[in-house]
Amino acid sequence: MRILSIDPGYERLGIAILEKADNREVLLFSECFKTSSKLAHSERLNLIGEEIGKVIKKWRPESLAVETLFFSTNQKTVMAVSEARGTILYEGARSNLPIFEYTPLQIKMAICGYGRGDKTQVIDMVKKLLPKTDLSKIKYDDEFDAIAVGLTHFASYKTNYYRK
């Protein structure tokens, strides 16, 4: 099974393609896609949609796993990220991908075994869960978060699939 997993963002978007083969998870691709604050809001959303479309076309995932929003105190950021998330969901639906959503708490539970784990714990566990993968070139935690979303999906896929 091949999945597209995303840590939604507006300025930075974590994207990963993972595959489960021979009963183990394999990272095929990951990136931190960035949009410039100098661009108009609508152009940034368009770029996000185009990038997701390109990734879907190239890697042909069977489903989309995406993190739900964590509401912080900055409403302007929450609105921009929610609109970016809407663009992501639209591209997934347009490509007829089943869409699975995971809360930050669910992701931390699946990856760290503790729902209040911090970014460092998530990154350390992703590295341990993918020991044969060179993750040294990853600069942003958004990319690690996207990989964690995908690993969470593999850990809970059967449960969530039968709920749909």
pTM of the model: 0.91
**Residues 71-93 pLDDT 10s:** 655 666 788 889 999 999 999 99
Q: Is 141 a catalytic residue?
A: no
Are 10 and 80 spatial neighbours (Cβ–Cβ below 8 Å)?
Answer: yes
> Which residue is catalytic, options 19, 25, 141, 142?
142
Number of DSSP helices (H) and strands (E) in the chain, helices first: 5, 5
Q: Is 7 a catalytic residue?
A: yes
> What CATH number corresponds to the domain at position 137?
3.30.420.10
Beta strands in the chain (DSSP E): 2-7, 12-21, 24-34, 63-67, 99-102
- At 48, the pLDDT band (50, 70, 90 cuts) reads very high
Q: Domain containing 135: what range? A: 2-163
What is the structure's pLDDT at 151?
97
What is the structure's pLDDT at 79?
86
**Is residue 161 pLDDT above 60, yes or no?**
no
More confident residue, 49 or 158: 49
Pairing of strands 63-67, 99-102: parallel
What is the structure's pLDDT at 118?
86
> Which residue is catalytic, options 67, 91, 141, 145?
67
Total number of domains constituting the chain: 1
Token pair listed for 74: 């900055």
What is the structure's pLDDT at 73?
55
Beta strands in 8-47 (DSSP E): 12-21, 24-34
